[in-house]
């Protein structure tokens, strides 16, 4: 097993540039993609193509590689590429490492971890954040779940295409933390409060000090604050526009008649299921 020999399985909009960073860093990379022409296109784009190669199956790509990365579509793809008859795990040697960058579930991460561990193979679930631009620029954020020793061995390689690589906890922790981050971001966009809420939330690794994180804790903090101030005021349609707030839902809104100090910039809140006003 050659530690400078890597494999990358899945050359989509994320995997294609991620594998490219590895090749440009001097690693010998064997790539696999379900559509073989995509793998050939990747080889043609590499100035050091003589050191790299493509394979027609995950097992063929993973054979002899010290670390195998994969970035595929969903849970079923992860199972097929890692655990299928021609999957990577069947061909990997004991002591090698499989890293899954797929945005998959914690459940499938634990399945693959168990199957890999039975063969003496290390496994890291390592979903990424940063989008296509982050992958192309080598500025991804990687949230990793797995064993500390396995993480320590793989981290220098992952840093090739990342600005931050963090061990979040045991197997399944990577997808769990990434889902927290996504929920918190959606909540801020939906509520329109991200730029006004000074307390904020943080997605943190196990063992670190925790703040309130995720959409639910933000919602609960807002509701407790409003409940402490008194009853809701339910205005007529368009009242939020008349208050000058940047509000997209004139037809459905919940406003405080006097939101109190520190809350005037919030403008409006999304209606609670129990106090919905339909226009």
Distance from C-alpha of 10 to C-alpha of 23, rounded to nearest angstrom = 15
Residue 12 tokens read as 């989509």
pTM of the model: 0.67
Q: What are phi and psi of 186, to 5 degrees?
A: -65, -40
Per-residue pLDDT tens over the stretch 54-97: 999 999 999 999 999 999 999 999 999 999 999 999 999 999 99
Please state, in angstroms and rounded to a whole number, the distance separating the CA atoms of residues 202 and 168: 13
Contacts of 222 (CB under 8 A, 6+ apart): 191, 193, 269
128-129 and 140-145 as β-strands: parallel, antiparallel, unpaired? antiparallel
Contact assessment for residue 8 and residue 29, using Cβ atoms and an 8 Å cutoff = yes
pLDDT at 257 over 70: no
What domains are there in the chain, each with its CATH number? Answer: 2-168 (3.40.50.720), 192-266 (no CATH)
**Strand-pair category, 53-55 with 28-32:** parallel
Q: How far is CA 44 from CA 9, 26, 37, 69, 99, in A?
A: 17, 16, 11, 20, 25
β-bridge mates for residue 143, sequence order: 166
Yes or no: say if 273 and 244 are a contact pair by the CB < 8 Å rule: no
Asked if residue 168 lies in contact with residue 206, where contact means CB atoms within 8 angstroms, the answer is yes
Distance CA 184, CA 207 (A): 20
Q: What is the pLDDT of residues 140-184, one digit of tens each?
A: 999 999 999 999 999 999 999 999 999 999 998 887 677 666 666
CA–CA gap between residue 164 and residue 130 (Å, rounded): 11
Confidence class for position 190, pLDDT limits 50, 70, 90: low
Q: Could you give the angle at the alpha carbon of 80 between the alpha carbons of 12 and 164, nearest 5°?
A: 50
- Which is it for strands 2-9 and 97-100: parallel, antiparallel or unpaired? unpaired
Residue with tokens 């403008």: 267
DSSP string covering 71-114: --SSHHHHHHHHHSTT-HHHHPPTT-EEEE-S---HHHHHHHHH
pLDDT grade for 33, boundaries at 50, 70 and 90: very high
């Amino acid at each position: 097993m050659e530690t400078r020999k890597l494999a990358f399985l899945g050359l989509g909009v994320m995997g294609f540039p991620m594998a490219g960073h590895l090749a440009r860093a001097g690693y010998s990379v064997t790539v696999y993609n379900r559509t073989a022409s995509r793998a050939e296109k990747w080889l043609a784009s590499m100035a050091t193509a003589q050191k790299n190669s493509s394979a027609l199956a995950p097992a063929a790509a993973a054979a002899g590689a010290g670390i195998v990365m994969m970035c595929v579509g969903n849970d079923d793809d992860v199972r097929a590429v890692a655990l299928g008859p021609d999957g990577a795990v069947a061909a990997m040697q004991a002591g090698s490492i499989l890293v899954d960058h797929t945005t998959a579930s914690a459940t499938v991460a634990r399945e693959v971890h168990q199957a890999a561990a039975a063969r003496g193979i290390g496994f890291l679930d390592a979903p990424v954040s940063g989008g296509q631009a982050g992958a192309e620029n080598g500025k991804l954020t990687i949230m990793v779940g797995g064993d500390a020793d396995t993480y320590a061995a793989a981290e220098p390689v992952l840093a090739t295409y990342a600005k931050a690589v963090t061990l979040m906890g045991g197997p399944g922790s990577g997808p769990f933390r990434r889902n927290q981050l996504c929920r918190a971001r959606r909540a801020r966009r939906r509520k329109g409060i991200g730029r006004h809420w000074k307390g904020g939330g943080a997605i943190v690794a196990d063992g670190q000090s925790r703040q309130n994180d995720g959409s639910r804790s933000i919602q609960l903090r807002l509701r407790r604050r409003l409940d402490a101030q008194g009853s809701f005021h339910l205005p007529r349609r368009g009242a939020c526009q008349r208050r000058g707030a940047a509000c997209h839902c004139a037809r459905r809104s919940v406003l405080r008649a006097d939101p109190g100090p520190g809350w005037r910039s919030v403008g409006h809140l999304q209606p609670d299921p129990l106090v919905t006003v339909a226009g």
